[in-house]
Chain A
Amino acid sequence: MSSPLPPSGSSDAPTIEASGLRKHYGDVHALAGLDLVAPAGQVTAVLGPNGAGKTTFVKAVATLLKPDAGSLRVAGIDAIARPDLVRRVIGLAGQNAAVEPALTGRENLVMVARLFGHDAKAARAAAQVVLDEIGLSDDADRPVKGYSGGMRRRLDLGASLVGAPRVLLLDEPTTGLDPRTRLELWDSIRSLVRGGTDVLLTTQYLEEADQLADYIVIVDHGRVIATGTPTELKTRAGLDVIEVRVRHAVDIAAIAEVLAPLGTEPPHLDEPARRVAVPVQDGTRALTEAVRMIGEREIALDDIGLRRPTLDEVFLTLTGATS
């Protein structure tokens, strides 16, 4: 924190600051007192299953709906008192935004740029910059109805950028895409947000949050149940695991004997797979020790490794604990 603060007072405010946010539809509490701080200059992922309240939250941030209670600041602006000012600093893309199939890619971008407040000339210039950036220059003058699903999503992403927003809101940007297109879109998002960008991303894919976000907020039933960096969350969910696969099934008991003193609990044996797994406290040191001892006994292995818990395991642990 040795660098001087930026001149503008609000640009170091958290991207989003929500406190006690509530929204209900009849008996359904989409947001049940949600508290969240998305730090500035980072990609924050709001991660949760369907119906967790992610979309309601992003709609509140995008000023598409008004919360029943609580406070919400976007880039330092009170979103409930001054939604008009919030709309000047945000760009929205994803499942709640759309592109017009009858228009060309360029026409779509020019239209949105005009509605951000650009004059005709600036709107055309902004559209061209974005087209280059999202790699759609060659298809810019074709109607969007001929675009593939991935191209449409990229255009949608581009449309949120033509107004040079300070905060980018991506609502489930890759939902429904095939795996290859998803990887391509991740690349696009990564290159767009390179170098410290204020992004709020909602997703139900743990891998997506892990890939794109600096900071993850896990929500369920309209509340935040955990926050942290991807690494922190994985650490909280449990210990590292040493996994060994022996070449000959007869050695499995011997391996279990070697690993037992290293583990925090008895090793888990999976005989058909010739695999032994044990949770350990200090992962790398324990692994080194295991390798040394197995080497001394000259037991033939197919595989040995240290495995971090996956975000899926984190998520199941955390949501399981609350419900």
Chain B
Amino acid sequence: MNTSLTAPSGVSISASIRQPPNPPGVWSTATTYAGRTIRQFIRTPQLLVVSAVTSTMFLLIFRFVFGGAIQTGGVKYVNLLIPALAAVSGLFAGGAVGVAEDMETGMFDRLRSLPIPRPAILLGRAMADTALNMWGTIITVLVGFLVGFRIDGGFLGALAALGLCVVFSTSFAWLMIFLGLVSGSAQAAQGIAFSVFPLIFVSSAYVPVESMPDWLQPIAENQPVTAMVGAVRALVLGGDTEMLLGHTTTWFVVRSLLWSAVILVVFAALSARRFAKL
């Protein structure tokens, strides 16, 4: 008993490890976790290959199978398709599954027991998912070039389009994080992630909204994916976008950014709340 009173508190091994002076901040926590998540992805070749192959397959099927049947007016279908795929790639990403896996394995329990700002973990996840998503986007654009895609909006337009893709990816990453957190298991997350498919398909992404039934058109016309797809197309195509796409570039860009902000704020808040109470 006497020895235990005088012995320094803490495990014996801690004598050779300094006690950390301060808990980590938001940035250092987020980048540490993002770094782990990106390494996890890179070291799982199946994920790298599967994500590249599926996005390429999707592209080729739409380009060569459905593309011929879709009336696009004055613009080549491939020039509408590639910007659309790039804009919504965040909705196909595996973020929800990754989050559910970290929940199932106990990784989140360990992290939540550490002296970190908890929402910073989710921020790191969103950063990593956005970065990984760009991998898919770059492949899509490169394959796109091989099958006839051309940028007519100039270098600055393309750069702005890429910037928007990063923004959309980030807000969709938060949506996916939330879906992962509420799903409970990786398998369920896989299923829940499909629930965003109507958002993708009931939009101008693959087919013209005018080809849909009357009752569906207002929904398709006014939902976030249509605004985002329109913004990226407008910047990539350049020229008179009001004539080509029905609205000006500014109209699309402003709407898409507002939608992104709403999605990001809502799902970041919901996710942080959920994460605190897991």
Contacts and interface: CB of A to CB of B under 8 A. Distances in A.
Interface of A: 1-6, 8, 11-12, 40-42, 59, 62-64, 75, 84, 87-88, 90-92, 95-98, 100, 102-103, 107, 111-118, 122, 125-126, 129-130, 133, 143, 159, 161-166, 168-169, 192-199
Contact of A196 (B4, B13, B24, B43): B4
A40 B4 contact: yes
A166 B10 contact: yes
B89 to A, nearest CB: 23
Interface in B90-124: 102, 105-107, 109-116
A168 B11 contact: yes
B16 A115 contact: no
A161 B15 CA distance: 11
Contacts of B16: 129
Interface residues of B, number: 46
Contacts of B7: 41, 195-196
Nearest to A125: B17
Contact of B39 (A91, A107, A129): A107
Contacts, number: 164
B114 A130 contact: no
Which of A12, A115, A118, A193 counts the most B-chain CB atoms under 10 A from its CB? A115
A240 to B, nearest CB: 26
B10 to A, nearest CB: 5
Nearest to A127: B17
A64 B109 contact: yes
Given A117-B24, A159-B110, A164-B14, 18 more contacts: A1-B1, A1-B2, A6-B6, A8-B9, A62-B113, A96-B106, A96-B109, A98-B110, A100-B36, A102-B39, A102-B40, A115-B32, A116-B24, A116-B115, A117-B20, A129-B16, A130-B17, A169-B113
A97 B4 CA distance: 28
Nearest to A39: B4
B115 A97 contact: no
Contact of A143 (B5, B20, B36, B43): B43
Contacts of B24: 114-117
25 contacts: A1-B1, A1-B5, A40-B4, A87-B113, A87-B115, A88-B23, A92-B110, A98-B102, A98-B105, A102-B39, A115-B29, A115-B33, A116-B115, A117-B21, A117-B24, A161-B13, A163-B20, A164-B10, A164-B18, A166-B10, A168-B11, A194-B12, A197-B11, A197-B12, A198-B10
Contact of B2 (A3, A125, A143): A3
A122 B114 contact: no
Interface string B114-154: 11100000000000000000000000000000000000000
Contacts of B19: 163-164
B9 A198 contact: yes
B20 A122 contact: yes
B114 A112 contact: yes
Nearest to A12: B5
Contacts of A113: 20
Nearest to A62: B113
A292 B116 CA distance: 67
Nearest to B9: A11
Given A129-B17, A130-B17, A193-B11, A6 B5 contact: yes
Which of B14, B116, B278 counts the most A-chain CB atoms under 10 A from its CB? B14
B114 to A, nearest CB: 5
Contacts of B1: 1
A41 B12 contact: no
Contact of B107 (A42, A98, A116, A130): A98
Nearest 7 Cβ contacts at the A-B interface: A41-B4, A117-B20, A164-B14, A98-B106, A97-B110, A196-B7, A92-B113
B11 A165 contact: yes
Given A115-B114, A117-B115, A193-B11, A64 B17 contact: no
Contacts of A98: 102, 105-107, 109-110
A233 B236 CA distance: 77
Contact of B17 (A111, A115, A164): A164
